[in-house]
Amino acid sequence: MGRLFGTDGVRGVANADLTAELALGLSVAAAHVLMEGPGRSPAVPEGRSADARAGAPEGHRPVAVVGRDPRASGEFLESAVVAGLASAGVDVLRVGVLPTPAVAYLTGALGADLGVMLSASHNPMPDNGIKFFARGGHKLPDELEDRIEETYRAHASGEPWDRPTGAGVGRVRTYDEGFDNYIAHLIGVLPNRLDGLKVVIDGAHGAAARVSPEAFARAGAEVVTIGTDPDGLNINDGYGSTHLDRLRAAVVEHGADLGVAHDGDADRCLAVDAAGQDVDGDQILAVLALALREAGRLRGDTVVGTVMSNLGFKLAMEREGVQLVQTAVGDRYVLEEMKSHGYALGGEQSGHVIVLDHATTGDGTLTGLLLAARVAATGRSLAELAAVMERLPQVLINVPDVDKSRVATSTELGAAVIEAERELGTTGRVLLRPSGTEPLVRVMVEAADIEQARSVAGRLADAVKSALG
């Protein structure tokens, strides 16, 4: 049986892969693991004894914050999660439909012992997922996820739970204040107001459908909305950060200064300038990096990206005197690098942007607000600001049904890569990356010319098939 936890929690088709029974069992397991004593879990505050599990009487009632995106399946999965936590002796604050970063923020701000978010992010509506946060609103490291999974499997196979009774069971209440608390936090960290800006917001019919427009409006912007009418079935359906066509058209139609697009759980942000041109995560990072450096808050004059960051981003940062540190693909690896070295800014081309002084995870609404604040503060258009970097043409080809384990050891493939790099010189880049979830290899080529990038990528894809097929 494969590992339940993927790169971002547990995901699957709701009521098929991700059932109510699984959601309940994982929640009970998470409650027990995250309430364990020092030396076992970094999520437990110093001073708690090894017996201080969920429901144990030590004058402390463990608390969990639970939120979800608007998917229809989130309704029954939320009920299962809440039931599991309460049965383990955890008091539950239900914050309702809020973005993932809002649940992370509230977990920390309210001093909760754990947070749970039900969402499958940018995935289609039939999918859903469960993501856990430890104390402080931080994502769980692999070792804690492994322990939760081991605990769940042990009890699913028949080992009985230690269940509290009477006054020891958890209590459940709705926490409607979470909406305003989160927005107040966002407004409070902005360096300046957005008065005079017109902004189009695409909420993907997701978790940011209410939050993002309200936050921008309270910050002073004139707001036009699309994709902000969720009905439980339309999340990510033709709207949001993976479908920018409607946002491009709306920005031009309304004469807006910029447009902002979120994904289903609003931990991402992509943008569109006044002419309807895309501004991706690398460009957003470039704009925010220079803004933070100007304010003296870009620690180490360093920004963190991934190996998929556009070469144009790297060249622009070098020109501006900013170091780019690159990690494996995945915002969790970006975050680990940032926390290890105290860096202030990092993210991915896909729009996950982490501003560590103000958030413990990628926050799409915060990113959009900070980007708009930079436009307002400088009086320069988003297009002008984003022009600090030139996006080099990037071609990505997925090569299926190959032995991805031999990417690093194949002599034939290594020779093909060396030849491609020689042809591209200093103005291009090659990356071969085995997929983490599928039997395929991703071939990525960047070059100053799109035709050259396509040609080199095609030849490398053929080399992958020949060497690894």
Specify the DSSP class assigned to residue 425: G
Residue 91 annotated as binding? no
Q: What angle do CA 178, 180, 184 make, to 5 degrees?
A: 115
Under 8 Å CB-to-CB from 424, ≥6 apart: which residues? Answer: 430, 445, 446, 447, 452, 456
Q: Taking the chain, what is the end-to-end CA distance rounded to the nearest angstrom?
A: 26
Q: Strands 63-68 and 138-139: what pairing?
A: unpaired
Query: Tokens 């923020």, residue?
Result: 105
- What DSSP character marks residue 58? S
d(CA 34, CA 53) in angstroms, rounded, equals 8
Is 265 labeled as ligand-binding? yes
Task: Examine the residue annotation and report whether 121 is marked as an active-site residue of this protein.
Answer: yes
Residue 303 near residue 323 (C-beta atoms within 8 A): yes
- Going 395 to 401 to 402 to 404, the CA torsion angle's sign is positive
Integer Cα distance of 48 and 69 in angstroms = 33
Was 403 annotated as part of a binding site? no
Instruction: Give the active site residue among 41, 121, 212, 350.
Output: 121
Structure token digits, residue 11: 């995901």
Residue 263 annotated as lining a ligand binding site: yes
Distance CA 216, CA 225 (A): 11
Strands 127-134, 172-174: parallel, antiparallel or unpaired by DSSP? Answer: unpaired
CB 253 within 8 A of CB 261: no
Binding site for Mg(2+): residue ranges? 121, 263, 265, 267
The catalytic residues are 121
